C-alpha cells in the first residue's frame, strides 16, 4: 500500500491489517510513529468529519498537518489541480490527503507526485476511509461482519460512501442490500453486485446494520425526487420504521445528517445509533491508514511491542 486510492484496491488481508492497527491505536492516547513528517490535507470540497479527524490522527502520530482549503487558495484564481499539487509537493510534504469533486482525482495525483496519496472522497467514486471506519464500528458493536446483513438506505446512485462500503463489506463476507427510490439507484442496480429493494420495509426486519445516507440536497434541483417530504414519508428512517428493526440492530450515518429527512432525530440520537462512534473511530482508522502508507515497518514493530 503506497497509496490509499480506493476500497476496491484493498485485499481482505490489507483490510484486516488496518482494522488490527486501528484497534491497537484505540489503546493509546498517541503514538509518535510519524514524528518529523508533514502531511497535507488538500480539500477541494467542504468537510467537517474527514478533514478534522485526519488532522487529529496526524497530530496523534506526531506529524504536522498543513491544511489547504481550495476556497481560500489560488484555486479561486483558476490554478489547476495538478499545478496546485505540484506547488505543494515542492514544499516537501511526506503525504497528501485529497478530497475533490472529480472522480479519479486521487489516482491522477498519485501518478504525478512522488509521495503517498490518500483519497478523502472523490466525486461519486469512493470514500475508502469512511468505509473502513464503518467496518471498524460494525465490528466493535456486532463482532465479525461475516454473514451479517447490512442495509444501505438512501441516495445510492450518488454515494461514494455506498460504493466503498459495498467493496469492503463484500470482501469481508457481509451480506449487503441497498434500498432507494428508483431514481436514486443506478439505472441497472444489479451492477452493484448486491441485493436491492425499492421499499425499506422489505429489508429492515432482517438488518443487523442500517446505514442511512445523506440526501444530497444540493443535487435535488435535478428533480430526482418529487419532493423531500415524499422521500421522508417513504424512505426516511423514522421512529415508526425503526421499530421494524430487530433487537441489537444498529444505525449508522456518515454525516452530515439531514435530521427529519433521511433520519429522525429520535433515531439519530437513540440507543441504536452508533453515529458518534463512527466519528471517534474515524480518528483510529485514519491513524492506521497514515501509518501504513507512510511507514508500515515501523507500525508493524510498534504493534508487536
| Rounded-to-5 percentages of helix, strand, coil across the chain | 45, 15, 35
Residue 130 found at the interface with ligand CP (CB under 6 A):
yes
Q: Does 41 bind ligand CP (CB under 6 A)?
A: no
Strands 64-69 and 38-43: parallel
- Under the binding rule (CB under 6 A), the answer on residue 255 touching ligand CP is yes
Strand order in the sheet with 38-43: 64-69, 38-43, 95-100, 117-122
* Cβ at position 2, least distance to ligand CP in Å: 23
- Check: CB of residue 303 under 8 Å from CB of residue 20: yes
Q: Rounded to an integer, what distance in angstroms lies between the CA atom of residue 233 and that of residue 280?
A: 31
Is residue 121 at the binding interface for ligand CP, with CB under 6 A as the rule?
yes
Q: Residue 244 or residue 279: which is nearer to ligand CP going by CB?
A: 279
In the list 41, 47, 164, 232, the residue contacting ligand CP (rule: CB under 6 A) is 47
Indicate whether 106 belongs to the interface with ligand CP (CB under 6 A): no
Is residue 219 involved in binding ligand CP (CB under 6 A)? no
Which is closer to ligand CP, CB of 130 or CB of 258? 130
CB of 198 to ligand CP, least distance (A): 25
Least separation in angstroms between residue 304's CB and ligand CP is 32
Q: What is the largest CA-CA distance in the chain?
A: 57
Q: How far apart are CA 169 and CA 12, in angstroms?
A: 10
- Spatial CB neighbours of 103, under 8 Å, sequence gap ≥ 6: 122, 123, 124, 125, 126
Give the residue from 9, 10, 28, 29 showing the smallest Cα distance to 18: 10
Which region, judged by CB under 6 A, interacts with ligand CP, from 10-18, 31-39, 143-151, 250-258? 250-258
Residue 49 in the binding site for ligand CP (CB under 6 A)? yes
In this structure, are residues 177 and 152 in contact, taking their beta carbons and an 8 Å threshold? yes
Min dist CB 251 to ligand CP, Å, is: 15
User: Minimum Å distance from CB 144 to ligand CP?
Assistant: 24
Query: Would you say 33 or 215 has its CB closer to ligand CP?
Result: 215
Q: 66 or 279, CB closer to ligand CP? A: 279
Judged by CB under 6 A, does residue 154 bind ligand CP?
no
Inter-residue contact 162 to 196 (CB < 8 Å): no
List the one residue from 3, 17, 50, 81 that touches ligand CP (CB under 6 A).
50
Question: Which spans of this chain sit near ligand CP (rule: CB under 6 A)?
Answer: 47-50, 121, 130, 254-256
Amino acid at each position: 500500500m503506497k497509496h490509499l486510492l480506493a476500497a476496491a484496491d484493498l485485499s481482505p488481508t490489507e483490510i484486516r491489517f488496518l482494522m488490527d492497527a486501528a484497534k491497537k491505536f484505540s489503546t493509546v492516547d498517541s503514538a509518535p510513529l510519524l514524528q518529523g513528517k508533514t502531511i497535507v490535507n488538500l480539500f477541494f470540497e467542504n468537510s467537517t468529519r474527514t478533514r478534522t479527524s485526519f488532522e487529529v490522527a496526524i497530530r496523534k502520530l506526531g506529524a504536522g498537518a498543513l491544511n489547504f482549503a481550495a476556497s481560500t487558495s489560488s484555486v479561486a484564481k483558476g490554478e489547476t489541480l495538478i499545478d496546485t499539487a505540484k506547488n505543494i509537493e515542492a514544499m516537501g510534504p511526506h503525504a497528501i490527503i485529497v478530497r475533490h469533486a472529480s472522480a479519479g482525482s486521487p489516482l491522477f495525483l498519485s501518478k504525478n507526485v512522488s509521495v503517498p496519496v490518500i483519497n478523502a472522497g472523490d466525486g461519486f467514486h469512493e470514500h475508502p476511509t469512511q468505509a473502513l471506519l464503518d467496518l471498524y464500528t460494525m465490528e466493535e458493536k456486532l463482532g465479525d461482519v461475516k454473514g451479517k446483513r447490512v442495509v444501505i438506505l438512501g441516495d445510492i446512485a450518488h454515494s461514494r460512501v455506498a460504493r466503498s462500503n459495498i467493496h469492503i463489506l463484500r470482501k469481508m463476507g457481509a451480506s449487503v442490500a441497498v434500498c432507494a427510490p428508483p431514481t436514486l439507484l443506478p439505472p441497472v442496480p444489479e451492477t452493484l453486485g448486491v441485493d436491492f429493494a425499492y421499499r425499506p420495509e422489505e429489508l429492515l426486519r432482517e438488518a443487523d446494520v442500517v446505514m442511512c445516507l445523506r440526501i444530497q440536497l444540493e443535487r435535488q434541483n435535478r428533480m430526482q425526487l418529487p419532493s423531500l417530504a415524499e422521500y421522508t414519508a417513504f424512505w426516511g428512517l423514522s421512529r415508526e420504521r425503526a421499530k421494524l428493526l430487530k433487537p441489537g440492530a444498529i444505525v449508522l450515518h456518515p454525516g452530515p445528517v439531514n435530521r427529519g429527512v433521511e433520519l429522525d432525530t429520535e433515531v439519530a440520537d437513540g440507543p441504536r445509533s452508533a453515529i458518534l462512534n463512527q466519528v471517534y473511530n474515524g480518528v483510529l482508522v485514519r491513524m492506521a491508514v497514515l501509518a501504513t502508507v507512510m511507514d508500515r515497518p515501523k507500525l508493524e514493530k510498534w504493534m508487536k511491542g
